[in-house]
Amino acid sequence: MTEQNKDIAPTADTGPSLEFTLKLARAQAVMVRRLDAVLGGYHGISFSDFMLLYNLSRAPGTRLRRVDLADRQGLTASGVTRTLLPLEKIGLVERQQDPRDARVAYAAITPTGLELLNNAIVVAQQISKDLLRNCPPDQLSATTAMLGQIAGMDSTLA
């Protein structure tokens, strides 16, 4: 460390929690970048699009209210709307009105979207296996459970 940098270097130990958070953020960025590249190259969708289609496919009736989809995606409602628009234009998702309440609208995966998702899952599984090839299965299961807890997710939800 140079004499100049010594004055701006952190003085406190980061601790294991912050260290984990920093490494998790870096790992997430690497994974998303790789999945974006491969899913984009093979299927023309981003990893964010993939997650949106995946969440819709797992929902009852393969549809969700936009606010619920936003919660699952970790986005705002307007962020989900911006993400849905191009997917609607290319026919992967559609808007559905609630027949009982005109104020409620759903985002639903279309048959075309479901077909694309099923093909994209194969690619995403392979990339995920490759990215995690050096992780022992027991550590992977424990870390998956821990990340679910951090995210406030029930272990049965995706």
Q: Residue 36 and residue 75: Cα distance in Å, rounded?
A: 18
In a domain, 7, yes or no: no
Q: Give the mean pLDDT of 106-128.
A: 97
In a domain, 54, yes or no: yes
Are 106 and 98 in contact, with CB atoms under 8 Å apart?
yes
For the entire predicted model, the pTM comes to 0.85
* Helix H or strand E encompassing 105: strand 101-109
Per-residue pLDDT band at 146 (split at 50, 70, 90):
very high
In a domain, 9, yes or no: no
Termini Cα distance of the chain? 44
Closest among 77, 112, 75 to 91, alpha carbons compared: 112
Number of domains present in the structure of the chain = 1
In a domain, 14, yes or no: no
Domain that holds residue 85: 35-130
In a domain, 8, yes or no: no
Q: How many CA atoms lie within 13 A of 67 on its CB side?
A: 3
Please tell me the predicted confidence (pLDDT) of residue 130: 96
Weakest mean pLDDT among 3-7, 21-25, 140-144: 3-7
What is the CATH number for 53? Answer: 1.10.10.10
In a domain, 1, yes or no: no
